[in-house]
A and B are shown apart, each in its own frame.
Chain A
């Protein structure tokens, strides 16, 4: 079992729709959770971090964390073609390095 799992996609959504990206992790003591966006040929950039159960909103992005079920998700509202990218989920434990999932490729069609 991979430590951090994501569906590789591609996830295709029409412009203006909500894109839902999911991530599960295996280590129950994980404490920090991140979503990175990576455009093709570019480096990852941090878009959301979440540390406690529940929702965290930032503009069109909402991160959701459920530690009991060991999953974290990212919702992108009003999806735009510029949101087309690969989204990497990363999970961390205190004192340890982050573990990245394989990424989900999102395609937003005009």
Chain B
């Protein structure tokens, strides 16, 4: 059982470049999330989805976009990367109660 899988694990971007962080889960969870975690800080919600075709903004959505075409996949798009987007990104999923959240292993992104 793979759980929540994120790729890539590490990436260095130049300012202004764009990229997509991939996330897939095999637990048939309706809810999926993208969080970012800055060094020494807690998790901040970027975007979330309660099901295929439905997405909504979290606490820090600026500079990001998401899509949810299938239950399994929830990619995060960074447009025009900025140094402020240097962070660790975690994809996660849960059942509809939204409480017990399962995290992927994280994607370390550096924007230079």
Contacts and interface: CB of A to CB of B under 8 A. Distances in A.
Given A97-B45, A97-B48, A92 B98 contact: yes
A60 interface: no
B58 A43 contact: no
Nearest to B96: A95
Interface residues of B, number: 19
Contact of A102 (B35, B42, B100): B42
Interface stretch (B17-25, B64-72, B76-84, B103-111): B103-111
B42 A98 contact: no
A97 B100 CA distance: 11
Nearest to A88: B42
B90 to A, nearest CB: 6
Interface in A54-110: 88, 92, 95-98, 100-103
Contacts of B42: 4, 6, 88, 100-103
B98 A43 contact: no
A96 B33 CA distance: 12
Contact of A44 (B98, B99, B103): B103
Interface in A22-66: 32, 34, 42-46, 49
B23 to A, nearest CB: 12
